[in-house]
Chains A and B, each alone.
Chain A
Amino acid sequence: DVKVTQSSRYLVKRTGEKVFLECVQDMDHENMFWYRQDPGLGLRLIYFSYDVKMKEKGDIPEGYSVSREKKERFSLILESASTNQTSMYLCASSFPGTAQETQYFGPGTRLLVL
């Protein structure tokens, strides 16, 4: 079974704090993705990575950065958290290839920025 884990299920942070969300997958997938989920908007892609040390902007990268130092780990960084970044964050991974490769998701992190 594919296993994607995220470091926290719930996080509460203050405005201006630096926030790290970590994602680890155990299936040797090359591709990893970060999405945020908001009511009425579905899932929106923040960043993705096709390989170690490689990253590509998604549809809403502003205010975020990522790091992929190891194949199994993909971190999402909020340099200075703001209240509009309160959301559900979902990590996913897949084998290489184009969109026919199914993405497998972690349990999500609910982030509240006060």
Chain B
Amino acid sequence: AQKVTQAQTEISVVEKEDVTLDCVYETRDTTYYLFWYKQPPSGELVFLIRRNSFDEQNEISGRYSWNFQKSTSSFNFTITASQVVDSAVYFCALGSSNTGKLIFGQGTTLQVKP
């Protein structure tokens, strides 16, 4: 069975704090894809990153960074020096190479207070 777990339902931080959003996945596929999306209050899901199972290199994009570890089936997302505009719901998703479908986690609501 394929599954994505985002154990943190809600996180609240003060601006400029660093915050890490956890994502743990389960799959038997050898080839798969991992995604992070951001959903601001406006409702639209915004694509942030895609990773394939053969690329375990960590990635940094500005204040955002992602840590992919196959050994622990995790794909965690860190925001450095958080800002109020980072307040949103963040979804981790697993893409199956077999089915072509995305499996989403439950989402983590991040609140950044000024």
**Contact indicator A88/B43 (Cβ below 8 Å):** yes
**Nearest opposing residue in chain A for B29, CB measure:** A99
Q: Assess A98 versus B95: contact at CB under 8 Å? Given A41-B106, A45-B101.
A: yes
Is B57 close to A, CB under 8 A? no
| Shortest Cβ gap from A94 to chain B (Å) | 9
**Contact indicator B104/A104 (Cβ below 8 Å):** no
**Contact indicator A43/B91 (Cβ below 8 Å):** yes
Is B99 close to A, CB under 8 A? yes
| B55-114 residues at the A interface, CB under 8 angstroms | 91, 93, 95-102, 104-107
Is B50 close to A, CB under 8 A? yes
Could you say which of A99, A106, A108 contacts B96, with CB atoms under 8 Å apart? A99
Is A84 close to B, CB under 8 A? no
A-B contacts, 18 listed (Cβ < 8 Å): A42-B104, A43-B45, A43-B104, A88-B43, A98-B96, A98-B97, A99-B33, A99-B95, A100-B50, A100-B52, A102-B50, A103-B47, A103-B102, A105-B46, A105-B47, A107-B42, A107-B44, A108-B43
Q: Bound state CA distance, A58 and B35, in angstroms? A: 19
Interface residues in chain B, defined as those with a beta carbon under 8 Å from any beta carbon in chain A = 4, 6, 9, 32-33, 35, 37, 42-47, 50, 52, 91, 93, 95-102, 104-107
| Shortest Cβ gap from A16 to chain B (Å) | 27
A contact residues around B95 at 8 Å (CB): 98-100
Q: Bound state CA distance, A9 and B41, in angstroms? A: 13
A contact residues around B46 at 8 Å (CB): 105
**Contact indicator B105/A105 (Cβ below 8 Å):** no
Is A34 close to B, CB under 8 A? no
Is A81 close to B, CB under 8 A? no
Q: Bound state CA distance, A102 and B35, in angstroms? A: 8
B contact residues around A90 at 8 Å (CB): 43, 45
In the A-B complex, list the 10 residue pairs whose CB atoms are closest, starting with the nearest: A99-B95, A105-B45, A108-B43, A42-B104, A43-B104, A107-B44, A98-B100, A42-B106, A100-B33, A99-B33
